[in-house]
A = this chain, B = another copy of it.
Amino acid sequence: MPEFTASQFAACAAAIAQAGRDFSDRGWTPATSSNFSMRLGRSRIAVTVSGRDKGKLTAADVMVCDLAGNAVDTDARPSAETLLHCQIYRRCPDVGAVLHTHSLAQTLASRIFAPTGQLTLAGYELLKAFAGYTTHDAQMQLKVFPNSQDMHELARLIDVYLDEQPIAHGYLIDGHGIYTWGKDMLEARRHLDAFEFLLNCELELRKMQR
């Protein structure tokens, strides 16, 4: 029994490429940064190949990895960050898509809130865009991790955090952008949309005269 069919892979590659085009149009994927993935069958993921322009992805820019981040049936090189995608798929069986982008707001918020290690989003109607949130009168803590070129070290910090905070829809990495996810690409994109909007609100408020 194969892990997945060719047409399941094709559907994932198409959804990933479309997401890349839309995010690139909005300026969220500068200078070949960012990576996107979707669950494929029970123990595989489809993920963007490292170093490609995310606004111009084709199926040739999407590869298959196992849940340990190893390339499957290809010489293409996965991004080091693939390990962070796999971590979410292993921990959260309901997650179907993981998105990492690198917008100005995501990077700025990660820098500004890195010293405290988190930022609070409260009182926004758009919190209802996140699965499980039914009112604006709620609080979401968005964690900010220090950056590292050692993905295993970073993943260890994230494991500790997700053990304590099982209901999380994303996190920031200092100077590096956001990771977010959802049960499918549609939900993951809605979460990313909402995070981008709310981060922009918080940054803009910090620019205003009191």
Contact = CB atoms under 8 A, between A and B. Distances in A.
Interface of A: 30-33, 102, 104, 107-108, 111-112, 123-126, 129, 134-137, 147, 149, 173-177, 190-191, 193-194, 196-197, 200-201, 203-210
Contacts of A194: 30-31
A8 B104 CA distance: 37
B204 A204 contact: no
14 contacts: A30-B126, A30-B196, A104-B197, A104-B204, A107-B124, A107-B201, A111-B201, A123-B174, A124-B176, A125-B173, A134-B149, A137-B147, A137-B149, A207-B207
A160 to B, nearest CB: 22
A31 B193 contact: yes
B209 A125 contact: no
Contacts of A129: 30-33
Nearest to A33: B126
A201 to B, nearest CB: 6
Given A102-B125, A200-B104, A136 B32 contact: no
Nearest to A209: B206
A134 B51 CA distance: 13
A191 B30 CA distance: 10
B112 A208 contact: yes
A202 to B, nearest CB: 10
Contact of A207 (B125, B191, B208): B208
B111 A205 contact: yes
A104 B198 CA distance: 9
Given A129-B32, A147-B136, A108 B175 contact: no
B125 A177 contact: yes
